A and B are shown apart, each in its own frame.
Chain A
Amino acid sequence: MKNYSGVMVFVEQKNKEIHRVSYELLGKARELADQINEEVVCCLCGPSEIDANELIYRGADKVFHVQDEEIFGNPEVMTYVENIVKIIEEKKPEICLFGATSFGRSIAPRVAATLKCGLTADCTGLAIDEEDMKLVQIRPAFSENILAHIKSQYLPQMATVRYKEFDEAKRDESKTGEIINFSSVKIKNNPIEVLEEITEEVFNITDARVVVSAGKGLKSPEDFKMIEELAAVLGGVVGSSRPLVEDGFISKAHQVGYSGNRVKPNLYIACGISGAPQHQAGMKEADMILAINSDPSAPIFNIADYGIVGDIYEIVPQMIEKIKNKKA
């Protein structure tokens, strides 16, 4: 019998709500598990109230639910690591997947170092090598310029996986599976204390269907009003390139790019954005891209489906009017 078996998904939750990346991982995990003839299992750390059945409906054969009403209510890395390590050591999955969210990327390396196994960061592709049935982990590196194919030499084969890269597992209430509850491990004298969550505006650019972004072509912070209006008539949200965030025009939650958010909307409109590689890294996977820029040689036009060479101060207001007329 093999020592290690199964594809484990770490399920991320906040306030009892399951992060959607976990459903994407479940979809991929099912595919991989079927290829190697193994089970899909979940490691869920959170209050007992969370309905673990949802994970069964999304394709898990087993859910290991580490229950605690308090300690999983904060992004406290040490506590999560301790509990996840305990489950992995006991259940010995062959493959272990984490969402490459800020939280996943903060805990997974610590889990891997504890177990002395490998960890591949921020994967955009996962496949089984048919020759040795091992996991091939594909990830961009060198600021998105190359794709590396990586294999782990130890078990479990562990990776963090980029959000919005795979489709969510379909929900099917007729699916059955097993939920096994575990009690939590608490850390004595935890060196880290979470003092408070600074509640800021709840704004999530990564889920938007339409993103209208502005770049250096925008002259003053007030001019974001017209960008906001265009986003509003299209049912979308406002994005920004890095320089405007640095100059304090708009908050970081709106930043699109390598060091900001990666978005994949149905429509991305780039207004006055030249299109540096760092910006492209955050938006090049949009379904449709429209670029508006007065400089016809701006690199943004190379990756845009449609381009308008012109002044955003003339075009954006006209576009708002035309959309309003269409909808009227």
Chain B
Amino acid sequence: MRIIVLMKQVPDMEKVKFDREKGVIDRKSAGTEINPFDLNALEAAVQIKETRGAEVVAVCMGPPSAEVALKEAISRGADRGILLSDRKFGGSDVKATAYTLAAGIKAIGEYDLVFAGIQTVDGDTGQVGAEVAQFLDIPHIYFVEKIVEANEESVTVVTDIWDGVYVKKMKLPGLVTVTKDINSPRLPAFKDKMKSRKAVIPAWGMDELAEFLDETETGRKGSATMVKKIEVPKAVHRKGLLWRDNMDTALNEFMDILVDKKVIEVE
């Protein structure tokens, strides 16, 4: 069984700064990390590997420096990592990104399952997974919070969708995106961390993917949407009447507000 895990390197959201005047994201203001939801996807793949044996291949599209994300994936249980990297991939929107990732997966060869996080914390779209599935012509299930069973033929999962919780069975190959509830990703062991540093990460660009990738379908050229403007809105700030002492007075005043705003109906 071969499981592919899609990953993205994202800025550390706790630290990244935004320039309101210029309307830009200062990516240099923060370090990078693996998109948190992708760690859940990787953990789900590694758990299947542990119970029934599988090869786990992590795939990341990004600049050459994104190699570190794939090394981290190896330290967390992936067998190998493949970086999709080429200047011509730059500026890809959802469609072009999904198309390029699908080409990378095709170039790997046979596979049974593709895992991805439900969304990235920078792009926030949650659309790439399903588009990859469409480009690969395989089915997908979103919002998976539990894997009931996985084998070579099919996967049975619990998914939170349509204002309900459903059990779905999907014939493989297929793609699954996972929520944070599916598991708690383990930290890598020290020896695995050390070992992963030596891992060789192949980088595939236009040349390596030529058989599966049309230059006009990737990068800025292959994108169907364009970002015209970025706005950095002011942080919400409310006037904030703060009561610090005399709780009884505070509560009485707040009661009057509730009555005034008709939250409490008084006869």
Question: Which A residues are closer than 8 A to B by beta carbons?
Answer: 14, 74-75, 77-78, 101-103, 105-110, 112-114, 116-122, 136-137, 139-154, 191-200, 204, 210, 234, 252, 259, 266-267, 280, 284, 288-290, 296, 301-310, 314-315, 318-319, 322-323, 326-327
The answer to whether B170 and A204 have CB atoms under 8 Å apart is no
Shortest CB-to-CB span from A18 to chain B, Å, is 13
Q: Can you name the residue of chain A whose Cβ is closest to the Cβ of B18?
A: A145
The answer to whether B161 and A106 have CB atoms under 8 Å apart is yes
Shortest CB-to-CB span from A95 to chain B, Å, is 13
Q: Can you name the residue of chain A whose Cβ is closest to the Cβ of B169?
A: A193
Q: Is B244 an interface residue (CB 8 A)?
A: yes
A304 contact from B122, B166, B167, B240, Cβ within 8 A = B240
A146–B232 Cα distance when bound, in Å, is 5
Q: Is B16 an interface residue (CB 8 A)?
A: yes
Further 9 A-B residue pairs, CB within 8 A, beyond A77-B141, A143-B13, A149-B227: A75-B162, A77-B139, A122-B124, A143-B121, A145-B18, A152-B225, A252-B160, A305-B240, A309-B243
A8–B163 Cα distance when bound, in Å, is 23
Q: Can you name the residue of chain A whose Cβ is closest to the Cβ of B224?
A: A118
The answer to whether A315 and B251 have CB atoms under 8 Å apart is yes
- For A153, list chain B residues within 8 Å (CB): 223-226
Most-contacted residue by chain A among B94, B133, B163 (CB, 10 A): B163
A136–B229 Cα distance when bound, in Å, is 10
Interface residues as binary, B236-249 with A (CB distance below 8 Å gives 1, 0 otherwise): 11111111110110
Q: Which of B126-177 contact A (CB under 8 A)?
A: 126-131, 133-135, 138-143, 156, 158, 160-171, 174
| Given A153-B223, A307-B240, A322-B252: A113 and B134 interface contact (C-beta under 8 Å) | yes
| Given A110-B134, A301-B242, A326-B259: A200 and B165 interface contact (C-beta under 8 Å) | yes
| Given A102-B142, A143-B124, A204-B163: A306 and B232 interface contact (C-beta under 8 Å) | no
Shortest CB-to-CB span from B153 to chain A, Å, is 11
- For B241, list chain A residues within 8 Å (CB): 305-307
The answer to whether B263 and A120 have CB atoms under 8 Å apart is no
Q: Is B2 an interface residue (CB 8 A)?
A: no
The answer to whether B232 and A118 have CB atoms under 8 Å apart is no
Q: Is B264 an interface residue (CB 8 A)?
A: yes
- For B257, list chain A residues within 8 Å (CB): 306
- For A266, list chain B residues within 8 Å (CB): 261, 263
A304–B134 Cα distance when bound, in Å, is 44
Q: Can you name the residue of chain B whose Cβ is closest to the Cβ of A315?
A: B247
The answer to whether A75 and B125 have CB atoms under 8 Å apart is no
Instruction: Name the prevailing secondary structure of the B interface residues.
Output: mixed
Shortest CB-to-CB span from A100 to chain B, Å, is 9
Shortest CB-to-CB span from A118 to chain B, Å, is 3
A314 contact from B169, B247, B266, Cβ within 8 A = B247
- For B113, list chain A residues within 8 Å (CB): none
A327 contact from B163, B169, B266, Cβ within 8 A = B266
The answer to whether A302 and B240 have CB atoms under 8 Å apart is yes
- For A117, list chain B residues within 8 Å (CB): 95, 224
The answer to whether B168 and A152 have CB atoms under 8 Å apart is no
| Given A106-B143, A234-B263: A113 and B98 interface contact (C-beta under 8 Å) | yes
| Given A75-B162, A198-B165, A327-B264: A305 and B238 interface contact (C-beta under 8 Å) | yes
A288–B142 Cα distance when bound, in Å, is 34
Most-contacted residue by chain A among B170, B239, B258 (CB, 10 A): B258
Q: Is B255 an interface residue (CB 8 A)?
A: yes
The answer to whether B139 and A113 have CB atoms under 8 Å apart is no
A143–B16 Cα distance when bound, in Å, is 11
The answer to whether A307 and B127 have CB atoms under 8 Å apart is no
Instruction: Give 17 A-B contacts (CB < 8 Å), ordered by A residue.
Output: A106-B161, A118-B223, A118-B225, A119-B225, A145-B232, A146-B232, A149-B230, A149-B231, A196-B167, A267-B258, A289-B238, A305-B238, A307-B243, A308-B254, A309-B242, A309-B244, A314-B247
Most-contacted residue by chain A among B142, B160, B179, B245 (CB, 10 A): B142
Shortest CB-to-CB span from A157 to chain B, Å, is 9
- For A141, list chain B residues within 8 Å (CB): 122-125
- For A146, list chain B residues within 8 Å (CB): 18, 25, 230-233
